[in-house]
Amino acid sequence: METDDMRKIKCGDSCSLSGSSSPMIRGVSWEPEYQISWNDTLHHSHAFLANDDSIIIAVSVCKNCFTTTISTPSGAKIKIDVLQSFMSRLWLELDILPCEFDTSGVTTDERADSAVRKAIGLFGPNVSIPRLSIGFKNRVEVDCNAIRLVNLHDYEKICSEYLWKNLLKQVSIFSNLKPNIYVSFISSTPQGGGVALMRHALIRLSKLFQLNIQWYVVRPNPAVFQVTKRKIHNVLQGVSTERLTIDEKDLYEKWSRFNAERYWQSSVFKLADIIVLDDPQVVGLIPFIKEVNSECVLIYRSHIEIRTDLLSLNSSQKDVWDYLFKGKIEKCDAFISHPVNSFVPSEIDKSKVYFMPATTDPLDGLNKTLSNRDIEYYLHMFRRICGEQNMPKLDISRPYIVQISRFDPSKGIPDVINSYKILRSMLDSDHIDAKNGHEPQLVVCGHGSIDDPDGSLVYEQALNMIQNDTTLFKYRHDIIIARLPPSDQLLNTILRGAFAALQLSIREGFEIKVSEAIMKKIPIITTKIGGIPWQVVDQKNGFLVPPNSPGIVANLLFKLLQDKAFYNKIMNSNVGGFLQEEFTTSTQLCNWLSLWNHLWRSKRTQTEINAVSVKADEGIQWYR
């Protein structure tokens, strides 16, 4: 079988799949270090100019010539596509998106041309960003089922020996629980926010292990999302006290029934061995799952801070929680929370409670190392976006402070702006320029989520703060508030170049942007709420401050700007090293596999399987 291997490159890059003795692809060739010996396996190549800075190249190769295997501790064999090692270099070193297609046609030229057309279809008007792909039964087609970013060897290199061995062990145990054991994740949105980012990374890694793990999303309904965000999500987090009405409950239940009956009740719900439901938006599906498959392991994953201290009589939080718990969450076999005991309501059977942190992927576009060329490209993209949104353009010769987050009421964006205002006033009063004769800029940016109707409202509120506050108005040329397209490398570039990062949430489960800043050695100032204290060692790799304390934040920023030794101490801290692996995709998959292995056996034998490692702190159970 032949496979046409696609790569998206920028003009000016030296890129071709021809070896030194092969013909050039329309005058484009590899740098010597990227040349590869294809012998007789390179059949054909075809190039297409997509726009002024992008080229798509199709190359036909014999896939079977590029395979090997690795062994798990149990002796099982996992096939590895050696071609993917080369493809991962394209992604990690050149920021090229390698794609792989199976094609049909009479001639290799016809097949290569077909692959080019397929590759073009993966991208929207902005050729550097792949389209979001939703397939049959609303299944999320991670990486469009064609883009090949990394391979297992790449993950092995970034894991400790202990983690990698344990991961292979858990994969082997899981694969032997049942032939082709099937896991389904169900979420409210495929894009925007930390849950979607984690799911993309988890499915990508599980595919490399050839595990049958799928991810589905509900059909969006703006009216329902108004209810789930403002009357459920925000209320549980304590940022709203609105109460659910009977009509709103009816709307939510009809929408849940529609999704169950339209997409999954006769297929996914019946066939899945394990189903994981992400957050309150999808708990309305639980009765429909139980109706057709009482034997499946059903897990509720809570990604938010539930204000259990507000679950008192007559509170709106109590009303919402009771509605979600009775007949829904109470039927689940496990309740997964961030590792904070106060996030777990007392009604949950403690034997069903497990803790798991949010994670990020060191190899995806949010975290991988970017070359200077790539950084220049994405900074140019950011400046263009700023111009389109009537924002000042970022001056990279000056330091800037950044908060990257959704425009959400819980993210503390007003505190970010007020902290910056106080900082600039301090600098003005002391007649001090911040760094190398330049005062700092402020960048508040992020992209939205289709299940979050608050995004536009919070964004407009932030703009109004700048326009209506006379003190802020004079700094308006140094403040950028921007809504960004879903480009991971763009967010990576902005965070990586920051002088300091903020995350001033007033309510938070885990904030993975905090971990990403620490991984990049960017000083982070964040609030002492939710699961964030698990991520930051105060005064070592960042700073923990009380919520709603812009004055304290401004003083810390002032010290970082004026005290170079203090700044370098935070930047060069290695304290976060022992924590970083806990917050990566490899650990997340290992956690899930260990949990699934435990729950699957327990449900069938009714005996506890000793598959849990207990973390000493607060007796929290972590799956590692």
Residues 545-582 have pLDDT tens digits of 999 999 999 999 999 999 999 999 888 876 554 457 88
pLDDT at 15 over 50: no
- When the candidates are 3.40.50.1820, 3.40.50.2000, 2.70.70.10, 3.40.50.10490, the CATH number that belongs to 372-582 is 3.40.50.2000
Torsion, Cα of 125, 127, 129, 132 (10° steps):
50
Q: Calculate mean pLDDT across residues 349-357.
A: 95
pLDDT at 362 over 70: yes
User: Picking from 8-22, 260-274, 323-337, 422-436, which range would have the lowest pLDDT averaged per residue?
Assistant: 8-22
Which tens digit of pLDDT belongs to each residue from 176-213?
999 999 999 999 999 888 899 999 999 999 999 999 99
User: Picking from 242-246, 318-322, 328-332, 434-438, which range would have the lowest pLDDT averaged per residue?
Assistant: 434-438
User: Picking from 119-123, 346-350, 390-394, which range would have the lowest pLDDT averaged per residue?
Assistant: 119-123
Instruction: Yes or no: say if 568 and 523 are a contact pair by the CB < 8 Å rule.
Output: no
Domain 161-359+594-603+610-622 belongs in CATH node 3.40.50.2000 = yes
pLDDT at 239: 86
Bridge partners, residue 335, by sequence: 300, 353
Dig out the tokens for 290 from the structure: 């139980």
Name the pTM for this structure.
0.86
User: Which stretches of 264-389 are DSSP H helices?
Assistant: 268-271, 286-292, 316-325, 372-388
pLDDT at 519 over 80: yes
User: Picking from 27-36, 160-169, 415-424, which range would have the lowest pLDDT averaged per residue?
Assistant: 27-36
Contacts of 30 (CB under 8 A, 6+ apart): 14, 15, 16, 17, 18, 36
Q: Which residue has the higher pLDDT, 20 or 423?
A: 423
Residue intervals in the chain for CATH 3.40.50.2000: 161-359+594-603+610-622, 372-582
First to last CA, the chain: 39
User: Picking from 295-304, 501-510, 545-554, which range would have the lowest pLDDT averaged per residue?
Assistant: 501-510
Q: Calculate mean pLDDT across residues 352-374.
A: 95
pLDDT at 44: 47
Mean pLDDT, the chain, whole residue set: 84
Dig out the tokens for 546 from the structure: 């009380």
pLDDT at 126: 64
Residue 449: closest CA among 276, 237, 268, 279 = 279
pLDDT at 356: 94
pLDDT at 127: 57
Instruction: Yes or no: say if 16 and 90 are a contact pair by the CB < 8 Å rule.
Output: no
Q: Calculate mean pLDDT across residues 328-349.
A: 95
Q: How confident is the model at residue 74 (pLDDT cuts 50, 70, 90)?
A: low
Q: How confident is the model at residue 272 (pLDDT cuts 50, 70, 90)?
A: very high
pLDDT at 69: 56
- Percent residues over pLDDT 90 in the chain: 61
Residue 428's CB: how many other CB atoms inside 10 A? 12
Q: How confident is the model at residue 3 (pLDDT cuts 50, 70, 90)?
A: very low
Q: Is 286 exposed, middle or buried (0-12, 13-18, 19+ CB in 10 A)?
A: buried
Q: Which residue has the higher pLDDT, 471 or 35?
A: 471
Q: Calculate mean pLDDT across residues 267-290.
A: 97
Instruction: Look up residue 455 and give its DSSP letter.
Output: H
